[in-house]
């Protein structure tokens, strides 16, 4: 599915915003504070049920308003070869293909309501399969720079997208780990550990094996896409999986846990296991997390997000929608060209930028440009036609 039309009401600085979207690259242009990122955020609120920028969704509601609303018209990918306006107007008769309006309302009281064509949805995960969204926000750089938690989460999301049993394994592992750690904190290192270590060993070996298998497929794809972004200047980035329980069978794994009980008890947590796994980004022998430059880290992350989308597209045949916030300003001329070329090959994407000059004349031909005028912070009602103009 692709997004054909989006309508926001009272999302951050947007009292009312309505615009069509093209099936390929869309560029949201506007000055600082014009609400470019908020448009991407609104898409996430609707299709993912959360905001990548904040945990408190109430922060996204315009000041002085009691609720926000986002409506997105989703149309099947194949029926959108025409320009966006026609696609939107004519989508109803698009050869019997089903279009859906995905809408969400968030109240300041914390209530939320997801609907599909007006029918209330019990769960917000309805769209995750139909219209998966992958985002790049500048804050996401923590994935590269920060602690290993986010990298494990990234890996887990990647695997779960095509292996539903994996998420169950991870859940069972986490629970068993909590039980064992509770024993350790109580200073117990007796036979009570046996059943939990058994479960940890069984799920732990499965998790490590699945993660390693997934990375064996993903890492070459990543190296390839990263290579295209950097025009092959470097020798190629390598994703290295780090685990302290690699290559063990269940029995060996259990023995290690049993041997480490006393030490773990002093630490009050379990030392060995996939809950301590990490991924390293190695570029020409340098660990990017520790010694990478800003630009290298950004490019590494951008490559990661593009590769993840590619990987999902390959396994589910649904192309994720890419939302890239302010990527252009951080890239040099060659990398910008490479990124736009990569995006042009992919599915639908929405990119925000302060300046259209980041795009070449001939690239703009194939791009849907959405201009946001200066912020409407005065709170006066702005008619949608005034607020945005469209040039395709």
- Residues near other proteins (CB under 8 A) are 164-165, 168, 172, 175-176, 178-180, 182-183, 186, 188, 191-192, 194-196, 198-199
* Smallest distance, other proteins to C-beta of residue 120, A: 21
Q: How many CB atoms lie within 10 A of CB 21?
A: 27
* Smallest distance, other proteins to C-beta of residue 167, A: 10
Residue nearer to other proteins on the CB measure, 3 or 183: 183
Instruction: Report the alpha-carbon distance of residue 79 to residue 99 in Å, rounded.
Output: 10
CB distance 300 to 151 below 8 Å: no
Residue nearer to other proteins on the CB measure, 195 or 295: 195
* Smallest distance, other proteins to C-beta of residue 217, A: 20
SS3 assignment, position 187: coil
* Smallest distance, other proteins to C-beta of residue 277, A: 21
Residue nearer to other proteins on the CB measure, 196 or 359: 196
CB distance 28 to 39 below 8 Å: yes
* Smallest distance, other proteins to C-beta of residue 262, A: 17
- DSSP state letter for 272: S
CB distance 284 to 208 below 8 Å: no
Residue nearer to other proteins on the CB measure, 188 or 363: 188
Instruction: Report the alpha-carbon distance of residue 6 to residue 386 in Å, rounded.
Output: 16
Residue nearer to other proteins on the CB measure, 178 or 217: 178
Residue nearer to other proteins on the CB measure, 57 or 176: 176
| Rg of the Cα atoms in the chain | 23
* Smallest distance, other proteins to C-beta of residue 231, A: 43
Instruction: Report the alpha-carbon distance of residue 294 to residue 288 in Å, rounded.
Output: 9
Instruction: Report the alpha-carbon distance of residue 20 to residue 119 in Å, rounded.
Output: 23
């Amino acid at each position: 599915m692709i997004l054909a039309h989006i309508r926001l009401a009272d999302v951050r600085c947007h009292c009312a915003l309505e615009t069509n979207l093209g099936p390929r690259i869309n560029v949201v242009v506007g000055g600082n504070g014009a609400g470019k990122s908020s448009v991407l955020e609104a898409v996430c609120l609707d299709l993912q049920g959360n905001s990548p920028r904040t945990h408190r969704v109430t922060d996204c509601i315009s000041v002085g308003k009691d609720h926000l609303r986002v409506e997105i018209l989703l149309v099947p990918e194949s029926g959108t070869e025409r320009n966006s306006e026609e696609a939107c107007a004519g989508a109803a008769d698009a050869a019997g293909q089903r279009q859906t309006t995905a809408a969400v309302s968030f109240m300041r009281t914390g209530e939320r309501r997801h609907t599909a064509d007006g029918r209330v949805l019990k769960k917000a995960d309805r769209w995750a399969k139909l219209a998966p969204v992958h985002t790049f926000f500048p804050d996401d750089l923590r994935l590269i720079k920060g602690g290993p938690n986010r990298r494990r989460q990234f890996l887990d999301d990647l695997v779960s997208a095509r292996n539903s049993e994996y998420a169950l394994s991870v859940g069972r592992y986490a629970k068993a780990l909590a039980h064992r750690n509770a024993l350790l904190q109580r200073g117990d290192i007796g036979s009570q550990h046996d059943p939990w270590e058994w479960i940890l060993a069984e799920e732990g070996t499965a998790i490590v094996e699945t993660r390693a298998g997934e990375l064996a497929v993903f890492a070459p794809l990543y190296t390839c896409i990263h290579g295209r972004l950097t025009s092959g200047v470097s020798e190629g980035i390598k994703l290295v999986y780090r685990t302290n329980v690699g290559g063990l069978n269940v029995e060996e794994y259990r023995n290690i846990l049993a041997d480490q009980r006393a030490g773990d008890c002093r630490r009050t947590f379990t030392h060995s296991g996939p809950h301590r796994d990490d991924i390293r980004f190695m570029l020409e022998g340098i660990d990017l997390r520790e010694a990478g430059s800003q630009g290298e880290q950004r490019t590494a992350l951008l490559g990661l997000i593009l590769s993840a989308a590619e990987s999902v597209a390959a396994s589910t045949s649904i192309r994720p929608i890419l939302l890239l916030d302010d990527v252009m300003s951080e890239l040099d001329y060659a990398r910008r060209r490479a990124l736009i070329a990569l995006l042009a090959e992919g599915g639908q994407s929405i990119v925000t930028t302060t300046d259209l000059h980041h795009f070449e004349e001939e690239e703009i031909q194939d791009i849907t440009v959405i201009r946001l005028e200066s912020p409407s912070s005065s709170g006066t009602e702005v008619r949608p036609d005034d607020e945005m103009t469209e040039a395709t």
